Structure 1
Amino acid sequence: MDPLSPDEIRASFVNCTRGEAKGVTLPARPEEIPWERREFLGWRDPKAPARAYLVLPHGGTVVGLALRAAAPPKSRLRSNTCGFCTTTHGLADITLFSGKRAGKSGRDGNTLGMYACGDLACSQYVRGERKPDVPQPYETLTVEERIARLEEKLHKFVARVLEPR
């Protein structure tokens, strides 16, 4: 991913108002982000943990999504799999993130959701830079193939958010 400035990050949001985008708490100073090892910029708002954000290149532009993180479910399941990077986590480390659709559909209350790594560190998990707390299923894909799969799933999610209804 190419480096982005704070202004570029804030201007990328497609499913919130300009005022809401201006109030987004950014994850770190842009010069501290290892952009070359990220397929997307994803973070939880430290001031409001129920808020999360995804920013990524999509269709020749940069698209940002404002998301809501659901409370952890009370379930008998012990683990679940991230819908983006397919990393298996303990149930407490997987979060349902939902975001308003872009445009009129979102203003009408339509949303989309995806179960994903609660820390949104998918780029690090697919590269083996971060290890989950539960054993992973055996996988024969190379790191490059896992990165390609992650990018494909991210782009499908973004396309669905942008899709007019």
Structure 2
Amino acid sequence: MLSLTEQQIRASFVNASRKEVSDVTLPPDFETLSFDSLDYLGWHDRKLARRSYVVAEVDGEPVGVVLKQSDKRPLSRAQCSWCSDVNLTNEVVFYSAKRAGAAGRNGNTIGTLICADFGCSANVRKLPPMAYIGFDAEAARLDNITGLQLHAEAFARSVRQTS
């Protein structure tokens, strides 16, 4: 992922008002983040319960999305739509995001299931278990990383789409 400054992150939000952007609290470890090991940047707002943020790269530019966490839990164990990790050690929750522009102001939203701690980048970098003789675990790991990048990009692109 691109290395980002606070100003770039604040300018990247496509579905937030100026007030919402000014209220964004950056992750507590922002100054020490290793963007090289992230496929997207995701974090929870320390001040506002159930509000989170994701910044993904779309066409070489950061696209920020304000997320709202559902207060309801899935009835069964959900799988993350982004990293598709089947050995989850953490929760998966439903997040919704209002769309950008007039669509969002009219109440149009989009939703997705994401790891509650936004640990997808770490999940896809683990070598998968040996599935069969001759299985190329490193190739599968690289496919998982690419898949995560594509899922995060597609979500951000969909939120940004105004029609």
Q: Same fold (TM over 0.5)?
A: yes
Match of 1:18 in 2: 18
- Which residue identity lines up with residue 5 of structure 2 in the other structure? S
**Structure 1 moving runs of 4+ over 4 Å:** 138-141
In the alignment, the residues of structure 2 paired with residue 64 and residue 98 of structure 1 have an alpha-carbon distance, to the nearest angstrom, of 14
Match of 1:115 in 2: 113
Aligned length: 156
Q: What SS does structure 2 have at the residue aligned with 1:120? A: coil
Name stretches of at least 5 consecutive residues in structure 1 with no aligned partner: 130-135
In the alignment, the residues of structure 2 paired with residue 155 and residue 74 of structure 1 have an alpha-carbon distance, to the nearest angstrom, of 25
How far residue 5 of structure 1 moved from its aligned partner, in angstroms, is 1.0
- Two-structure CA RMSD over aligned residues (Å): 2.3
Match of 2:85 in 1: 87
In the alignment, the residues of structure 1 paired with residue 35 and residue 154 of structure 2 have an alpha-carbon distance, to the nearest angstrom, of 21
Match of 2:32 in 1: 32
How far residue 60 of structure 1 moved from its aligned partner, in angstroms, is 2.8
Match of 2:123 in 1: 125
Match of 1:98 in 2: 96
How far residue 46 of structure 1 moved from its aligned partner, in angstroms, is 2.1
Q: Provide the TM-score with structure 1 as the length reference.
A: 0.85
Matched, 1:62 2:59: no
Contact 2:74 2:93 (C-alpha < 8 Å) held by counterparts: no
How far residue 66 of structure 1 moved from its aligned partner, in angstroms, is 0.3
How far residue 14 of structure 1 moved from its aligned partner, in angstroms, is 0.4
Q: Which has the higher contact order (CA 8 A, sep 6+)?
A: 2
Paired-residue identity, %? 33
In the alignment, the residues of structure 1 paired with residue 33 and residue 145 of structure 2 have an alpha-carbon distance, to the nearest angstrom, of 18
Contact 2:94 2:113 (C-alpha < 8 Å) held by counterparts: yes
Name stretches of at least 5 consecutive residues in structure 2 with no aligned partner: none
- Which residue identity lines up with residue 97 of structure 2 in the other structure? G
Q: Provide the TM-score with structure 2 as the length reference.
A: 0.86
